[in-house]
Amino acid sequence: MRWTTRIAAAALVAVLQACATPPAHTPPPPPAMANEARPPVTILISIDGFRSDYLQRGVTPNLARLAAQGITGPMRPSFPSKTFPNHWTLVTGLVPDHHGIVGNRMEDAAHPGQTFTTASDAPYWWNAAPPIWVEAERAGIRTGTVFWPGANVAWGSTVTKADHGDYAGGARPRDWLQYNQAINGTQRVDTVLDWLRRPAAADRPRFVTLYFDRVDVVGHDYGPNSPEVAQAAAQVDAQIGALVDGLAALHQPANLVLVSDHGMSETSDTRVIPLDLPKDSYHLIEAGPFAALTPLPGKEALVEGTLLGRHPHMECWRKAEIPARFRFGSNPRIPAILCLAEPRWMIVEKLPDAPFTRGEHGYDNRSADMAALFIAAGPAFRHGTVPAFDNVDVAPLLRDLLGLPPGRGLDGDDAPFRSLLQPR
Ligand SMILES: [Zn+2]
């Protein structure tokens, strides 16, 4: 036996012995993942309607652990504190007045007869600002979205046949799903993990969005102080725990950025403000925490005379006179008059016919009730607390995490986070 053969035989014995007695406490990595250093994935997670202080209710141990490892702080939504405007702000870095999704319901004189609702995916509503997944794909970074308002829109496309849903061109995340509320939180997490389990690194997304709606739905139905909200928060927390465990099992480093779009305020039949106007004097876009409306021709003086100024629990402005701090009022999609209720109050066309306790959002974006969740954890982050900041700063942070150059003309920047990022 030559010496090289002897050494090989000894090595083989050593390997066999090692295989026969694996250490009980360190299971080997899955074969496909062995010895593979994965680059970090950035996962932007939205828990719709998760008010900042839900974190202190003692029902979200996984979020608490992530907050303790990374950075956290109260985040101000943009005005109006509604779902679609704020989700689009989080991925564009622009306030709603600038990105064009100025409400969950809107009209546009450039597209007469069309009304935007949360089911609208016609590109012209969305095309004013590219979302971060489009910017990432342009830079060669693969992206995937398990839901996000606007993620099923072919961004930048043009309508080829009016109102028939035919569009040409446009960009979408490489992996995306048509929004379907019936796909539960566990299935959403499993979808993300399945994408990251793909054997070839090039097939795995490097930027992912993940969206949970349940806390918002329950917050609307039962109010923010209900046991049902605590239960829904605990449920989504467990799903995020499963995501963290799944990532660890894949040896997949991840920078997690957890946000919500707005908080939630408790409303009641005892706190309503009737819109005291004749029915034939105005066109209402939406009412509730705020009312957005246009006087009908010839009724301008009546509507303005009745509404403009301060009322008990409500204040109304012409769009050009909305206080500057709201950063809202220049977009053509904003109607002529905005009335804003105090948190916990509702502007209504018709008085309620039964008692209720529910939840709403859409109020002053600086009110405590509207404060949103923010936690970021992973290899890119130090540990620390970030003072209250505006949600226009999230997209610049995501650009840093993805290695994209700073965005041009954005309404936010990464200043709140700079001292809390690990050196690259
Ligand atoms: Zn929402």
Query: pLDDT tens-digit profile of 89-120?
Result: 999 999 999 999 999 999 999 999 999 999 88
Q: Quick one: 229 and 376 in the same domain? A: yes
Q: What is the pTM of this model?
A: 0.91
Query: What distance separates the 2 farthest-apart alpha carbons in the chain?
Result: 107
Q: Quick one: 150 and 283 in the same domain? A: no
Q: Quick one: 206 and 329 in the same domain? A: no
**What residue numbers bound the domain in which 302 lies?**
270-354
What's at 20, amino acid-wise?
A
Q: Quick one: 301 and 176 in the same domain? A: no
Q: Quick one: 220 and 316 in the same domain? A: no
Measure the CA–CA gap between 392 and 75, rounded to whole angstroms: 10
CATH code of the domain containing 159: 3.40.720.10
Partners of 409 in the beta sheet?
Answer: none
Under 8 Å between Cβ of 153 and 99:
no
Q: In which element (H, E) is residue 402 found?
A: helix 394-402
Q: Of all residues in the chain, what percent carry a pLDDT higher than 90?
A: 87
- Whole-number Å distance, alpha carbon 262 to ligand 1 midpoint, is 6
Q: Which of 42, 60, 72, 83 is catalytic?
A: 83
- Whole-number Å distance, alpha carbon 82 to ligand 1 midpoint, is 6
- Whole-number Å distance, alpha carbon 96 to ligand 1 midpoint, is 14
- Whole-number Å distance, alpha carbon 143 to ligand 1 midpoint, is 23
Q: Quick one: 127 and 150 in the same domain? A: yes
- Whole-number Å distance, alpha carbon 218 to ligand 1 midpoint, is 11
Q: Quick one: 147 and 123 in the same domain? A: yes
Q: Look at residues 354, 384, 408 and tell me which one is the last residue of a structural domain.
A: 354
pLDDT at 164: 64
CATH code of the domain containing 307: 3.30.1360.180
Answer yes or no: 83 catalytic.
yes
Q: Quick one: 117 and 143 in the same domain? A: yes
**Which residue pairs, CB below 8 angstroms and at least 24 apart, start in 19-23?**
none
Ion ligand 1 neighbours, Cβ < 5 Å = 48-49, 83, 216, 261
Residue 359 lies in a domain: no
Look over the chain and give the mean of its residue pLDDT values, rounded to a whole number: 92
Q: Quick one: 219 and 185 in the same domain? A: yes
Residue 360 lies in a domain: no
**Confidence at 1, pLDDT banded by 50, 70, 90:** very low
| Residues 305-317 as b or e (16 or more Cβ within 10 Å = b) | ebbeeeeebbbbb
Q: Look at residues 354, 376, 405 and tell me which one is the last residue of a structural domain.
A: 354
Under 8 Å between Cβ of 332 and 108:
yes
Residue given tokens 């997949």 in the structure block = 252
Partners of 421 in the beta sheet?
Answer: 381
Domain count, the chain: 2
Residue 12 lies in a domain: yes
Q: Quick one: 324 and 222 in the same domain? A: no
- Whole-number Å distance, alpha carbon 83 to ligand 1 midpoint, is 3
Query: Which burial class, exposed, middle or buried, applies to 416 when counting CB atoms under 10 A from its CB (0-12, 13-18, 19+)?
Result: buried
Phi/psi for 267 (5° steps) reads: -110, 160
Q: Per-residue pLDDT tens for 166-202? A: 788 899 999 999 999 999 999 999 999 999 999 999 9
Closest CA to 58 of 258, 230, 262: 230
Q: Is the pLDDT confidence value at 305 over 50?
A: yes
Q: Look at residues 305, 322, 354 and tell me which one is the last residue of a structural domain.
A: 354
Q: Quick one: 33 and 108 in the same domain? A: yes
Q: Of all residues in the chain, what percent carry a pLDDT higher than 70?
A: 91
Residue 251 lies in a domain: yes
Closest CA to 29 of 250, 253, 254, 252: 250
